[in-house]
């Protein structure tokens, strides 16, 4: 199957889901919000060893709060978690949140990726950025590539930033028998990105002369040693959502876990000690149907793989004022060695 000819869809095809981006014009960074104004059953699965997250503990199946109102994905490393506060402020201003009698408290988990090496590291998403992303949210298909949480993303960094390529944010969806599962993925992986249908590397580390794709798997197994990298300076984060009726947070957590299979198909290596790979799952229940967790899990993995592919297909090349050049798949079409 040629993935180029598949309509990728988007996460906003899931009823009850809206997406908004904020992209900072001062340097390549930004944040993205996934809104579920009516509330959505939520889960999370963290597979990377260096995550930067907010309010993930409340998503554990045994804990009290059952629904969330938004998920924030942000650049800026740990600083970017501030964006979630702005999202919560916007939701409160619009009457969205958990009713505790004296106030409505928006529940806004978040995850961040590290993009501080791309441009001026002192510029990162803050609360105002999160507020602006919410204000921009809609049910239209979201912009992809160099926007929002994907603005400063890069992939293929095992052999250094000088040999990396541009990452980004992408979305996709799968519909089976009236039920939809969508994904939104901000891909900032230390590893290469593959087309899950063909196994071919489509973006990632380049050869020393920069003129071709290296194929990190073959290089590592062939004895080429990776460059020493700081843990947490990468990370792929995202959200999977469905309009299926999920019974509880345990099922949402299972959906997030299954979505990581899509990352494993699309990124090599994934889930490393250098990444903070984190995926959230949302269930809006708007279809009124539950086709079974086996099918939903398969759909979540597929939507995640397609969204990861879109995250690099939609990017454009970038050169920072500091001289870092990150070629994009669409602008630079080498042949893999």
Percentages helix, strand, coil for the chain (3-state, rounded to 5) are 25, 25, 45
pLDDT at 3 over 70: no
pLDDT at 231 over 70: no
pLDDT at 1 over 60: no
Give the confidence band of 335 by pLDDT, cuts at 50, 70, 90: very low
From CA 135, how far away is CA 150, in angstroms rounded?
A: 18
- Sorted by sequence, the CB contacts under 8 Å of residue 18 that are 6+ apart come out as 12, 34, 35, 36, 37, 137, 138, 139
Distances (CA, A) of 201 to 9, 81, 180, 191: 22, 32, 28, 10
Query: Terminus-to-terminus CA distance in the chain, angstroms?
Result: 23
Mean pLDDT is lowest, of 165-169, 220-224, 284-288, for 220-224
pLDDT of residue 225: 84
pLDDT of residue 94: 97
**CA angle (53, 161, 129) in 5-degree steps:** 40
Give the confidence band of 6 by pLDDT, cuts at 50, 70, 90: low
From CA 290, how far away is CA 310, in angstroms rounded?
A: 27
What the block records as the tokens of 85 is 């506060």
pLDDT at 72 over 60: yes
Rg over alpha carbons for the chain, rounded to the nearest Å, is 18
pLDDT of residue 90: 98
**CA angle (146, 197, 328) in 5-degree steps:** 25
Of 216 and 335, the structure prediction assigns the larger pLDDT to: 216
pLDDT at 337 over 70: no
Mean pLDDT is lowest, of 158-162, 171-175, 187-191, 227-231, for 227-231
What the block records as the tokens of 66 is 């059952």
Mean pLDDT is lowest, of 45-54, 81-90, 165-174, 187-196, for 45-54
Q: How many residues does the chain have?
A: 337
The residue ranges of every structural domain in the chain are 3-326
DSSP, collapsed to helix, strand or coil, labels residue 206 as strand
Q: Which residue has the tokens 């889901």?
A: 17
Picking from 184, 173, 67, 186, the residue whose alpha carbon sits closest to that of residue 125 is 186
CB 215 within 8 A of CB 166: no
Please state at what angle helix 293-313 crosses helix 249-266, rounded to 10 degrees.
40
CB 235 within 8 A of CB 112: yes
pLDDT at 310 over 60: yes
What the block records as the tokens of 147 is 């926007």
> What pTM was computed for the model?
0.95
Q: Mean pLDDT score of the chain, rounded to an integer?
A: 93
Mean pLDDT is lowest, of 131-140, 212-221, 291-300, for 212-221
Query: What does the pLDDT look like over 187-208, one tens digit per residue?
Result: 999 999 999 999 999 999 999 9
pLDDT at 54 over 70: yes
Q: What is the CATH number of domain 3-326?
A: 3.60.70.12
Q: What is residue 177's DSSP assignment?
A: T
pLDDT of residue 48: 82
């Amino acid at each position: 199957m040629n993935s180029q000819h598949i309509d990728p869809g988007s996460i906003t095809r899931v009823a009850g889901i809206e997406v908004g981006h904020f992209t900072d014009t001062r340097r390549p960074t930004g944040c993205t919000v996934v809104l579920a104004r009516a509330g959505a059953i939520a889960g999370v699965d963290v597979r990377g060893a260096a995550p930067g997250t907010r309010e993930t503990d409340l998503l554990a199946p045994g804990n009290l709060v059952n629904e969330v109102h938004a998920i924030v994905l942000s650049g800026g490393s740990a600083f970017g978690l501030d964006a979630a506060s702005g999202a919560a402020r916007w939701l409160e201003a619009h009457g969205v949140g958990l009713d505790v009698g004296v106030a409505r408290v928006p529940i806004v988990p978040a995850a961040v990726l590290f993009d501080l090496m791309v441009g001026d590291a002192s510029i990162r998403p803050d609360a105002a950025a999160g507020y602006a992303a919410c204000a921009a949210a809609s049910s239209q298909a979201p912009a992809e590539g160099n926007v929002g949480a994907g603005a400063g993303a890069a992939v293929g960094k095992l052999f250094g930033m000088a040999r990396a390529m541009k990452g980004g944010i992408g979305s996709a969806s799968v519909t089976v028998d009236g039920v939809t599962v969508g994904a939104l993925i901000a891909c900032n992986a230390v590893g290469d990105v593959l087309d899950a249908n063909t196994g071919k590397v489509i973006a990632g580390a380049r050869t020393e002369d920069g003129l071709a794709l290296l194929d990190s798997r073959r290089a590592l197994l062939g004895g080429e040693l990776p460059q020493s990298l700081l843990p947490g300076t990468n990370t792929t984060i995202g959200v999977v959502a469905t309009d299926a009726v999920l019974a509880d947070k345990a099922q949402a957590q299972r959906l997030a876990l299954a979505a990581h299979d899509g990352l494993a198909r699309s990124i090599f290596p994934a889930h490393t000690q250098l990444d903070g790979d984190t995926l959230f799952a949302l269930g809006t229940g708007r279809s009124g149907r539950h086709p079974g967790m086996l099918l939903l899990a398969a759909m979540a993995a597929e939507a995640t793989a397609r969204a990861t592919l879109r995250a690099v297909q939609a990017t454009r090349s970038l050169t920072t004022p500091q001289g870092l050049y990150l070629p994009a798949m669409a602008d630079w079409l080498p042949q893999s060695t």
